[in-house]
Structure 1
Amino acid sequence: MTLLNELRTTTRRSSDLSKHSADVFAEAEDHTVQITRRDGETLVLMSQREADARDTLLQFAADLITVTLDDEGTLASRMADRFQWMLALSPEDQTKCAQDLVNAARASFATGQPHLAIAELTSWRETATAIAAGLSSLPIEWLDDAEPVERP
């Protein structure tokens, strides 16, 4: 079993790469392509976006492992120590964030889809950033009494 399950991978011969490079490159933009060679190890061709997503997921996994190895405090407090942007969240949201991130990471590893964990991480981080900037879900008072105006 691999760390990241391959959901969609095609296999091409090295001769396909030289004879039909445009087709092989188009496939690699969509999903991973294995290039087999008679005289060497199989190579993998993928987009930079996919490689970056895998790197980000592996870094996130390393951070989660570091957090779970610590046994002092709650999961939320240990994660807030590692991901300091979480300190902008309320204690309740820190707890929810921690559990959501763990669940998304598990789903990403189980399905081989790095975007699940990356999207969850980005969403919570952007929420914390917005809260730190003073944005909230409370209604803005000065808009309550605003009167509509005609379009110019």
Structure 2
Amino acid sequence: MTVTTTRTEFQSSELSRNSAEVFAAAESHAVTVTRRNAEPLVLMSERDSRAHRTLFEFAATLIAVTTDDRGTLAERMSDRFPWMLALSQVDQAACAAELVAAARASFATEQPHLVAAALTSWKETAEAVAAGLGVQPMEWFDEDIPVGLPSA
């Protein structure tokens, strides 16, 4: 049986009385656990916690990059993210712009996965380019070539 809830706040007593509902909610989104005479606590999955840490780390890097005035944004970001050097200058500029936009969207919507996805996508693209993928032109066949059935 799967318990799902959209509740975002629980009383601390519900942890012992109905822990399955509290934990199910915390697996899908952060929940606040209120306590009598104490500050509320936030319960979230380790995945969400890592995503928030990654966003803060990226934010610190982005602030350092954007407050520097030497070189272009792409050049400054390449210094912090050396994998960007595998990209063409045009792609470096596109990457820098997209990462800034994704960070703004993540902060505005409180969705850290937006910047994480953009960062991962660009990094994997740079790794593929560095490995030589995508630099060879594709050779397409101009005519149909019959292919037989595999033998059993």
Change (3 A) 1:111 1:65: same
CA drift of 1:138 comes to 4.8
Normalised to the residue count of structure 2, the TM-score between the two structures is 0.88
Deviation of 1:41 after TM superposition, in Å, equals 1.3
Runs of 5+ in structure 1 lacking a partner? 1-7
The separation in 2 between residues aligned to 1:47 and 1:61, in whole angstroms, is: 21
Deviations 1:48-93, CA, capped at 9 Å, x for gaps: 1110110111111011011112110000000001100000000001
Q: CA RMSD in A?
A: 1.8
Q: Which has the higher contact order (CA 8 A, sep 6+)?
A: 1
Fraction of identical pairs, as percent: 61
Count of aligned pairs between the two proteins: 144
* 1:18 pairs with 2:16: yes
CA contact (8 A) 2:77 2:96 kept: yes
Distance 1:33 1:71 in 2: 41
Moved over 3 A (4+): 137-141, 143-148
Query: Between Structure 1 and Structure 2, whose CA radius of gyration is higher?
Result: 2
Moved more, 41-50 or 131-140: 131-140
* Structure 2: unaligned runs, 5 residues or longer: 1-5
TM-score by length of 1: 0.88
